[in-house]
Each structure stands twice: as structure tokens, then as C-alpha cells.
Amino acid sequence: MLCRLEARDQIEEKLLNQHEQECQVVTCLDCQYRSMRVGKNCRKEGHKLEFSTGIRRFFACRKCKTRTVTLDRYPNFECINCGESLFEKDYAIAKRKGPKLVGEKLVIRGIEEKFLS
């Protein structure tokens, strides 16, 4: 059990240090469409496909932190969530957000005690 958890942590550390990843890229020569998988229309209509290797890069929106992946050096589209076009490099996986410890919670007014009389 412990060995599995250690292996998972090692993989997670590796992916947290990785900003880009090599992958297979499909280019439809009829539609001039490039993606990581074949489109439904291209497969249905029997278009000429070219398979090659490329690099996919991971980005996050600067405004809302929505993650996205692109095959270009920088995303040439707007954020689907907020419409912002500024992105920053992100990791291959999202950072884990574990449960907050009691000491980590920020309580501005202090601990509230109810029904003091």
C-alpha cells in the first residue's frame, strides 16, 4: 500500500515539473484541421489524414485560472470561461488542493462562540 502511494507521489511530482508533453497529432489535409484526435466529420467522410508527433503545452487563464491545452506555442483563442486572451504556463496536472487544517483557516474576526450568556 505504501509503495503504491510513493509511486503515485513520484508521478505527481514529475507531472508538476512538466509544462509540455509530446503527443500524437492528427492533421486533416482536406479541412486543414489539427488536433490530438481525429474529428467525427473527417472520419465519417474519409478525409486524408496525416499523423505526426507534436508538443502539447499546458496553460491557465490569468484571470480565472481555467486550464487549457494547445498544440501551438501560445493559445490563439480566448478563455472559454471569461473571454480573456492572456494565459500563463501551467503544469501537466492541477496542483492538489487538500483539506485545510484547523490552523490554516483564516478567521478575520477570531473564533466565534455562539450563545454566550
In the structure, what pLDDT confidence band is assigned to residue 54 with cuts at 50, 70 and 90?
very high
Average pLDDT score over the chain: 86
Identify the pLDDT of residue 100.
66
Q: Please say if the pLDDT value at position 9 is more than 90.
A: no
**pTM as predicted:** 0.69
- Which residues, 6+ apart, have CB-to-CB distance to 30 below 8 Å? 42, 45, 47, 48
**61-97 pLDDT, tens digit each:** 999 889 999 998 999 889 998 888 899 998 888 877 7
